Structure 1
Amino acid sequence: MPPVESIDLSSLSAPAGGSSRLTGHLARPEGPGPWPGVVVVHEALGVDDVMLRQVEHLARAGYLALMPDLFTQGGTRRCLIPTMRAALSGTGRAYHDIEAARSHLLALPACTGAVGIIGFCMGGSFALMTAGRGAFQAAAANYGMLPKDLDTLAGACPVVASYGGKDRALKGAATRLRGSLHRHGVVHDVHEYPDAGHSFLNDAEVGPRPLRPLFRVMGMGPHPEAAADAWRRIETFFATHLNAPHTEKAES
């Protein structure tokens, strides 16, 4: 598979109120295409090798996968708090950056015109917040905090979501999300893995090394068995909802 390519999305983000500088990381499937696109939204710790491998995973599954670096403009220290606030408020620069990534995918000749979104941790919150805005054809939220107002999910695109039963910060989130999506008639697949914790889809530990023992005590980190099943569900869900050409391609 071709390596993940770094691209400049600034010309799409800056005029729309997003970051004045925005880097994206794009991976393409092998073969001639065309393929559906997926915007990948990274964890709160930012873009690292683990997140880049998630992009590669989606490309191997047959998707044009593009991850905008939401911390491009100021680094993790300067951007983390405002970006986290944006994830829960539904407004802010990060949403324009995500839209820039979606627009870039739609403009690629190799894109079918169907675009989904997948997020991890903080990115999972963005996936849920954008699901009801009509821009994406499917959303995958992985251990993302729920919107404060679950009624924002009314009219959402199909949602697949995965949570860990040992994730103390998100206790009961899967049940609440499933109930809201059912109540609003949204197609969904929400599952909680009892033995997994936060960030269980990662294939390696992340964060500063001195903090990793603390993360383990908190139940954070890889859980290969849960991750394998979650990826199976995500890929099946995306195959169902992203593999038909979308009319926006002709309009973009």
Structure 2
Amino acid sequence: MTDATIPTIDGDGSFAAYVARPAGTPRAAVVVIQEVFGVNPGIRRKCDRLAEDGYLAVAPDLFWRIEPGIQLDPDVPEELRHGLDLFGRFDQDAGIRDIEATIRWARSDVEGGKVGCVGYCLGGRLAYMTAARTDIDASVGYYAVGIDGLLEEKHAIAHPLLLHIAGEDGFVPPAVQAAMHAGLDDLPKVTLLDYPGQDHGFATELGDRRSPEAADSADAATKAFFAEHLG
């Protein structure tokens, strides 16, 4: 496990990223897209697990323009509120450009091989946007927020996308879940998986939000999805 510095697309700066490498030659690369809590221990553990599965995993610090290096614990109320405040201040279009820069960096590192992404919460939303706006080979979003407002971009999704939906998600109410299904179920490149009774954050690696059985089920589906589409 190391840290990397990735240059921006337009050359106006650079940002840090956490990198986990497999023991041997990477089978592909996966960009891990943070929640509103930064590249915290849970996100780094996601990277480590992907490396154990043979992938080069890289988690860019997408909040570098507002609070570089921030790491928050969602189980601490003050830190949860701080994360939600950062969400409101975050430039999502700039974030997608930083993800694109990370994709380019990762693709170079795996010598032109395939690159996927997986994101959580805000990162799930950004994974959807990445699928629609970049050349990513496969994308996964967990409990993505606000997808109903991005459905006009769905026809630009050229490569496989998997979305995990928490049935009792307080940030993604039933009407939004219904809109996601109505807008995306007929797209051959998109798969939606529902987890009835689960709340937002059920697949976090650490903390009170984790629901082990549902997390293991979702993670197994993600693992199979990447094996099929990345190798």
| TM-score under structure 2 length normalisation | 0.84
> Does residue 223 of structure 2 align to residue 231 of structure 1?
no
Gaps of 5+ in 1: 206-215, 244-252
Q: Which amino acid aligns with 1:177?
A: M
Deviation at 1:161, TM superposition (A): 1.1
> Does residue 158 of structure 2 align to residue 151 of structure 1?
no
Q: Which amino acid aligns with 2:206?
A: A
Structure 1 distance, partners of 2:160, 2:192, is 11
**Which deviates the most, 74-83 or 228-237?**
74-83
Structure 1 distance, partners of 2:98, 2:89, is 14
Q: Which amino acid aligns with 2:96?
A: Y
Aligned length: 213
**C-alpha contact 1:35 1:111 (8 A) present in aligned 2:** no
Q: How has the CA–CA distance of structure 1 residues 152 and 14 changed in structure 2, closer, same or farther, with 3 Å as cutoff? A: closer
SS at match of 1:180: helix
Structure 2 distance, partners of 1:124, 1:34, is 24
SS at match of 1:136: coil
In structure 2, what is the equivalent of residue 72 of structure 1? 64
Q: Which amino acid aligns with 1:81?
A: G
Structure 2 distance, partners of 1:111, 1:55, is 20
**C-alpha contact 2:36 2:86 (8 A) present in aligned 1:** no
**Which deviates the most, 149-158 or 138-147?**
149-158
- Residues 1-252 of structure 1: matches in 2 within 5 Å? 4-9=1-6, 12-13=7-8, 15-16=10-11, 20-31=13-24, 33-75=25-67, 79-83=86-90, 86=92, 91=93, 93-108=94-109, 110-111=110-111, 113-145=113-145, 146-156=147-157, 157-172=159-174, 173-183=176-186, 185-205=187-207, 221-243=209-231
Q: Which amino acid aligns with 2:143?
A: Y
Query: Hey, which bits of structure 1, 4+ residues long, moved more than 6 A?
Result: none
**C-alpha contact 1:200 1:226 (8 A) present in aligned 2:** yes
Q: How has the CA–CA distance of structure 1 residues 227 and 114 changed in structure 2, closer, same or farther, with 3 Å as cutoff? A: same
Q: Which amino acid aligns with 1:229?
A: S
Gaps of 5+ in 2: 71-81
Deviation at 1:112, TM superposition (A): 5.1
User: Once the two structures are superposed, what CA deviation does each residue of 1:53-84 show, in whole Å capped at 9, x if it has no partner?
Assistant: 0111111122111110012233156854232x
| TM-score under structure 1 length normalisation | 0.77
**C-alpha contact 1:164 1:192 (8 A) present in aligned 2:** yes
SS at match of 1:52: helix
Q: Which amino acid aligns with 2:17?
A: G
SS at match of 2:182: helix
SS at match of 1:35: coil
SS at match of 2:42: helix
User: Once the two structures are superposed, what CA deviation does each residue of 1:93-152 show, in whole Å capped at 9, x if it has no partner?
Assistant: 2122111111111111x3552111111010000001121224111110100111513131
User: Once the two structures are superposed, what CA deviation does each residue of 1:154-195 show, in whole Å capped at 9, x if it has no partner?
Assistant: 141211111211212212344432332233x33233112113
Structure 1 distance, partners of 2:152, 2:205, is 34
Identity of aligned residues (%): 28
SS at match of 1:62: coil
**C-alpha contact 1:119 1:142 (8 A) present in aligned 2:** yes
Deviation at 1:26, TM superposition (A): 0.8
Q: How has the CA–CA distance of structure 1 residues 174 and 61 changed in structure 2, closer, same or farther, with 3 Å as cutoff? A: farther
Structure 2 distance, partners of 1:111, 1:197, is 39
Q: How has the CA–CA distance of structure 1 residues 124 and 97 changed in structure 2, closer, same or farther, with 3 Å as cutoff? A: same
Structure 2 distance, partners of 1:64, 1:198, is 27
